[in-house]
Structure 1
Amino acid sequence: MSLLWAKRSFCQRLSNQTKEQARSSSEGRSQCTSRVGKLKHPRCREGLLLGVTVDPSQSRHLKLEIRVQVKKEIYFKKALVDSGATGNCVDVQLVRAWGIPCIEKKNPEIIQAVDGKLLTGGPVTLQTIPLSMICEDKILRKNHEKKIILDVIHAPQYGIILGLPWLTHHIPEINWAERQIVFSSALCNEQCLQKNQVPKVCNSNTATAAEKETQLPKQYSSYKDVFDEKGAETLPPHRSYDCQIDLAPGATLPNCRVYALSEHENQHLRKYLDQFLENGFIRPSKSPAASPLFFVPKANGELRTCIDYRGLNKVTIKNKYPLPLIPVLLEQVKRAKIYTKLDLRGAYHLVGMREGDEWKTAFKTRYGLFEYTVMPFGLCNAPAAFQFFLNDVLREYLDIFAIVYIDDILIYSDNENEHVQHVKKILAALRKHHL
């Protein structure tokens, strides 16, 4: 393990003893201990550690297959996931090859090796503009997409390094032995994960009604109403599962400016507002609180509507209802022989907002202030509220032949005949609760 140390200014006052330890080739372990220990010195607080394994075969590294969008082009690469790196970096040669636009860093950093020598490439003076980075969660079978800014360094052997800032932001579950990453955090579920293509009966927006009916297996034809798209566009009734937002005593309400949008984004915004006003999912508001609206591009080029509820979430009393542990769920179903996965169209919008709490969800646009009557994406308590909702709806079947992770339902059985009955029971429960 070779440790790289990047810092904004040289620490000139290292003791001679420490320098001698850093130069000693016969005490490799002491080198690292001495230098890492020195980071705790008050004069070195601005230091940045990059931990990179020196392994010619790179067989021990954790690599993540990613896609990076640069302008209209998509590039594929394996990124190094490095829990010892306190920065997210990209090699300068890759920047040139892909034509990645860069800007100057406000505070250039100097990269220094453990022996005190400067690394090739000189100070880090550039960083990329925000780039859309996509990777596949092979366990959840979903694409994970998020903007990322990378420091431009000289690291041709790695290309892209995803360090501690990326790990602490997404908080993925990592199986280091199997080299597997699962994006199971609440933030990833709300903002980053996209559902991949699954059987068209659940996700096709272009098939005709006749085509959809033929796509539905005959044994479930009596439940075709459960798969009707119009159900996801219907305002849910108020019930005990409504999402509530309880504010901390004395909390300061969030406020914001209107974000500037492009012409294309404004066109998308008008369609979004028109559709959600027609469905009753939003309504004009006179709320004293407001959160900003913006858009992020999806992998297919479409726009995802996002409300930045960080200000609201900061003063919200958190719902501690737990989400299931992904490894436990996988262990539970691994011996089954047949599976059916159901995705709930509309997801969070299937749950209403508690009466009297709608004003807290208000968001500001150039066309006015609006508030949600259904649970929006981005609320800190939304995953817990939806998990409780589905757990209660399917309580009698959980861990017997069904598991639930937020809005995903997996039905598992030992044989096909048994499986048909299991699926019918789940569909009946969903129908009963208008899902």
Structure 2
Amino acid sequence: MEIAVTDMRRVQFSIGKHYSCEVLCDVVDMDVCHLILGRPWKFDVGAMYDGRANTYSLEWKGRRLRLLPHSSQGDKTNQVPAVLHFVTCNALLNLYQEHSLLFALVLRESTPMSESRMKQPPIEHLLDQIRDVLADPAPTALPPLRSLQHQIDLIPGSTLPNLPHHRLSPMEHQALQQLVDELLKNNLIQPSLSPCAVPALLFPKKDGSWRLCMDSRAINKITVKYRFLVPRVEELLEK
């Protein structure tokens, strides 16, 4: 539908209590009495539109004004003016130049999660999943027997190593005895009558306690090395 524009008038209008202006408008037949401000007015005043907040900001007499949307509740004498607005980054950069106090609340979207997970850091959620591995105190028994048991196959005809222990101070001897007694108490080790013997080493930890390590280099030299074909990378990627 085409509407012929045959008349133009200068209209003086105001928005709120602080902004007043005069604009040259085309006169057309309308069912309602509204003043439509088009692109010429936006260009003249340098108006910037914020689509999310539905607001306009413009320069007027050396000041930066923001035109807020009309309230759907109508005009009320006791209505409290809005004090919180959502603005874009560009609008925020323009607003901070005004001589007024400005607070900005930066929001970001987060992935949905349960209420219990939101109350704890991500590392706590990960630790909850492997809580049985990080049991405190440590388990006092070995895991149950599996269908595949571990065994060490030695090269036939090899001589079993029987090495003396390393030189230890009286304090290290006492620490080693306490570690062995604790392992025996928790059924994690058991006495052995094997002629094979490898020395034990003690290394200090950062907290002042000792770490027990076994020097198994001699037994590793006579252990049968199991070698398997390396799987093809292409097949692994396909699987």
The answer to whether TM tops 0.5 is no
State the TM-score, normalizing by the size of structure 1: 0.23
Q: Taking CA–CA contacts closer than 8 Å with sequence separation of 6 or more, which of the two structures ends up with the larger relative contact order?
A: 1
> 1 or 2, which has the higher helix percentage?
1
> 1 or 2, which has the higher strand percentage?
1
Q: Answer with 1 or 2: which has the greater Rg.
A: 2
State the TM-score, normalizing by the size of structure 2: 0.39
